[in-house]
Structure 1
Amino acid sequence: DVQSWTTATKQSLCLMWQKVKVHLMLSMTFLVAVFWYCRRLYSFLAQLLKRWSNYLQRKLIRNLSVRTEVDLLGYSAREWKGETKQAKHMREAYEELFWSYHIKYLRQVRRDNYCVLRAVLFQIFSQGIPFPSWMKERDILKLPEKLLYSQGCNWIQQYSFGPERYMGPNAFGKLRKCMETLKTNWTEISATKDHEERGNMCNTLFSDESKEHKLYEAIKFIMLYEVVEAYEQMKNREEPIHNLFSLLLARDSSSDPLSFMMNHLNSIGDSICLDQVELSLLGYLLEVKIRVYRLQRFNTEDFQVNYPDEYRREWNEISLLTEDDRYYQIPLF
Structure 2
Amino acid sequence: MESLDLTVVWAAIIGFSVMAYVVMDGFDLGIGILFPTFKVGEERDQAMNAIAPVWDGNETWLVMGGGGLLAAFPLAYAILLPATYPLMIAMLLGLVFRGVAFEFRWRDPRHRAVWDVSFAAGSVVAALAQGITLGAILQGVRVENDAYAGGWLDWLSPFSLLTGVAVAIGYALLGACWLVWKTEGAGQRHARRLALPLGIATLAALAAVSAATPFLDYDYWRRWFEMPGVILTAQVPLLVVLAAATFFWSLRRGRERLPFLMALGLFLLGFVGLGISMYPYVVPQAVTIWDAAAPYESQIFMLVGALVIIPLILAYTAWSYWVFRGKVGTHGYH
TM-score (norm 2): 0.29
Structure number with greater CO (CA < 8 Å, separation at least 6) is 2
More strand by share: 1
